């Protein structure tokens, strides 16, 4: 797997010195990470990835008190030979919740005082489980839309009054609450059928 991958960080030379830690995993070290905002990982073209696989890219902040903790960034593949990853907004080890920790992604490792990028050759299906995958983004859109609509309906419902409680106010239009509920149910049904229907 030597020289299959390259790494570019701003203001530095291209790195291709990934060290194998297993048959399917490699790591490289990045010094002086405080000045890094983005990292680019790419296939050099020397050798394609095996059919049906992707290279999942992981990041680990330096932590002088603990072994590397890997955070998945995304992937590169023969069909997508390069990717830019935003590093500056990643959480450091002490800020991560337990479910986001991938401690064993690259086996048992020693404490490292530099940041590391790890690459793991994995089945293509694993790319859909990554934080930046299209499936995850679609899930995020659907979740956001549902929460936003629920809040809108709850907000409007908090102002509801019965017809007997209404006082006539000239120039003010009223919408029956059941109209809003019907609209919400139709919108949610369409969102479940096709999360991207609103783009058309």
Domain-embedded: residue 104 = no
**Residues whose CB is less than 8 angstroms from the CB of residue 39 and which lie 6 or more positions away in sequence, other chains included:** 7, 8, 9, 30, 59, 84, 85, 87, 117
Name the stretches of the chain with pLDDT < 50. 93-104, 106, 108, 111, 133-136
Task: State residue 53's pLDDT score.
Answer: 94
Task: State residue 72's pLDDT score.
Answer: 85
Task: State residue 82's pLDDT score.
Answer: 94
Task: State residue 26's pLDDT score.
Answer: 93
Task: State residue 150's pLDDT score.
Answer: 81
Task: State residue 98's pLDDT score.
Answer: 47
Look up the domain containing 142 and give its range: 135-193
Domain-embedded: residue 200 = no
Task: State residue 112's pLDDT score.
Answer: 54
Measure the N-to-C terminal CA separation of the chain; round to a whole number of Å: 44
The CATH number of whichever domain residue 18 belongs to comes to 2.60.120
Task: State residue 92's pLDDT score.
Answer: 53
The CA distance from 143 to 164, in Å, is: 37
Read off the tokens for 178. 């059941």
Q: Indicate whether 43 and 10 sit together in one domain.
A: yes
The CA distance from 77 to 83, in Å, is: 9
Task: State residue 4's pLDDT score.
Answer: 92
Task: State residue 171's pLDDT score.
Answer: 85
- Give the residue among 99, 117, 106 at the shortest CA–CA distance from 62: 117
List Cα–Cα distances, 188 to 4, 49, 141, 153, 185, in angstroms: 45, 41, 12, 12, 5
Is the Cβ–Cβ distance between 121 and 50 less than 8 Å?
Answer: yes
Q: Indicate whether 144 and 159 sit together in one domain.
A: yes
Task: State residue 103's pLDDT score.
Answer: 46
Is the Cβ–Cβ distance between 174 and 198 less than 8 Å?
Answer: no
Give me the number of domains the chain comprises.
2
**Max intra-chain CA distance, the chain:** 78
């Amino acid at each position: 797997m030597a020289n299959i991958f390259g790494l570019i960080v701003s203001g530095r030379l291209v790195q291709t010195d990934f060290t194998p830690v297993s048959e399917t995993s490699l790591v490289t070290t990045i010094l002086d990470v405080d000045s890094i905002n983005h990292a680019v990982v790419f296939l050099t073209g020397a050798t394609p990835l095996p059919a049906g696989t992707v290279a999942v890219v992981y990041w680990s902040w330096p932590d002088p008190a603990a072994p590397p903790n890997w955070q998945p960034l995304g992937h590169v593949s023969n069909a997508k030979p390069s990717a830019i990853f935003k590093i500056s907004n990643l959480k450091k080890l002490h800020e991560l919740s337990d479910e986001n920790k991938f401690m064993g992604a690259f086996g048992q490792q020693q404490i490292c005082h530099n940041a590391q990028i790890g690459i793991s050759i994995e089945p293509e299906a694993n790319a859909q489980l990554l934080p930046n995958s299209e499936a995850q983004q679609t899930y995020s859109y659907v979740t956001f839309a549902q929460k936003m609509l629920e809040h809108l309906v709850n907000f409007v419902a908090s102002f509801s009054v019965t017809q007997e409680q209404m006082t006539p106010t000239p120039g003010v239009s009223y919408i029956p609450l059941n109209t809003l509920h019907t609209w919400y149910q139709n919108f949610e049904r369409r969102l479940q059928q096709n999360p991207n229907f609103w783009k058309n």
